[in-house]
Amino acid sequence: MTGMAGSTANTTGAAGVSGPMARWVRVLEAFAEQGEWGIRDLARSSGIPRSATHRILHDMAELGLLARTDEPGRFRVGPDLARIGSGVAEHLEVQRVARSILEETAAAVGETVVLAVYDPQRRRFSAVDAVETHHPIRYIWESLRDWSELHLGSSGKGILAFLPQAEQNAIIDRLPDPIPGHRRLSKARLRRELEAARRRGFVVSHGERYEGAVGVSAPIRDARGRVAGDLIATWPDNRTSEAKEASAGSIVRAAADEVSRRLGWTAAARIEPAGPS
């Protein structure tokens, strides 16, 4: 426990950061190294005053980050903290595995290629990396860093089209009908478009999320066959054609499959069908 005191107390202090957020970070670091703490022991180890430690632990428990044990005043890692930690680790792994493939795909297509990850709890996606060509369109991919809805554009539909039917239906059912956007469409038409994309193996979109933007995307799967995100190639519509979109679709689909294989996915992995309801 003495060693713990040194590592936990000094990790944040070395950066010269202080205040409430720094204390939260020190507490999270402590639980990352040791899954259960009492208020008194954690206060002593972290150097945080006992009253502040008490308040932080109870606040984290209310948020689901920690869970109270049967012993009063003791806490362990909670389900939400475990889920968040697992999700971050998975996203970092996807990013590491995909980087070289992003570069190869951008060179092959001649356009910007974006990597997005899917959070099944939020039922949204977020862009985490991109490789740009000499035709940069950073304004598009940078804006996708926030968690975004799945029903617009190839960036979201490259995930939505390939989700299990029950999950896909739950997402679509909560949308208004018709669905608002640059082009209004009915839920029935959206389902038909998603089914066509699923059969084709990739999504093509025109100006759905950004006026004048073309996108082509395909899903990435993890070792269990779950959709973990997608790869998106994107470019302005003033240099597009059906032939270019078809070619890009084939390239992006193959690249997404390669990322999936490197994450442990095989074609034999079980994938729940997502047909029309």
Q: Could you tell me if 122 and 157 lie in one domain? A: yes
Domain count, the chain: 2
Confidence of residue 275 (pLDDT cuts 50, 70, 90): very low
Q: Could you tell me if 98 and 57 lie in one domain? A: no
Mean pLDDT, residues 82-94? 70
Top-confidence residue, 269 or 146: 146
Rg (CA), the chain: 22
Confidence of residue 18 (pLDDT cuts 50, 70, 90): low
Q: Could you tell me if 100 and 178 lie in one domain? A: yes
Give the model's pLDDT for residue 276.
42
Top-confidence residue, 146 or 275: 146
212 assigned to some structural domain: yes
| Kind plus residue range of the DSSP H or E element containing 144 | none
Top-confidence residue, 24 or 182: 24
Give the residue among 223, 87, 218, 95 at the shortest CA–CA distance from 157: 218
Give the model's pLDDT for residue 210.
84
Share of the chain above pLDDT 70, in %: 84
**Cα(115)–Cα(132) distance, integer angstroms:** 12
Top-confidence residue, 42 or 89: 42
Question: Cα–Cα distances in Å, from 199 out to 85, 157, 203, 249, 273?
Answer: 34, 13, 10, 13, 11
Give the model's pLDDT for residue 135.
66
Question: Cα–Cα distances in Å, from 46 out to 21, 24, 38, 50, 136?
Answer: 14, 10, 12, 10, 46
Q: Could you tell me if 45 and 178 lie in one domain? A: no
**pTM, entire model:** 0.68
Q: Could you tell me if 73 and 103 lie in one domain? A: no
Question: Cα–Cα distances in Å, from 103 out to 86, 95, 145, 157, 217?
Answer: 26, 12, 19, 22, 15
Tell me which DSSP letter residue 179 carries.
B
Q: Could you tell me if 47 and 180 lie in one domain? A: no
pLDDT in tens, 132-190: 877 655 545 566 778 899 999 999 999 999 999 999 999 999 999 999 877 788 999 99
Give the model's pLDDT for residue 151.
95
Give the structural domain span for 10.
2-77
Give the model's pLDDT for residue 224.
85
For the chain, the average pLDDT equals: 85
Give the model's pLDDT for residue 138.
52
Alpha helix ranges (H) inside the chain: 2-13, 20-33, 39-46, 50-62, 79-109, 138-143, 153-160, 165-173, 187-200, 242-262
53: phi > 0 → left, psi -120 to 50 → alpha, else beta; which? alpha
Here the CATH number for the domain that contains residue 39 is 1.10.10.10
269 assigned to some structural domain: no
Q: Could you tell me if 117 and 35 lie in one domain? A: no
Question: Cα–Cα distances in Å, from 198 out to 159, 194, 219, 230, 274?
Answer: 10, 6, 10, 13, 8
Top-confidence residue, 18 or 239: 239
Q: Could you tell me if 60 and 93 lie in one domain? A: no
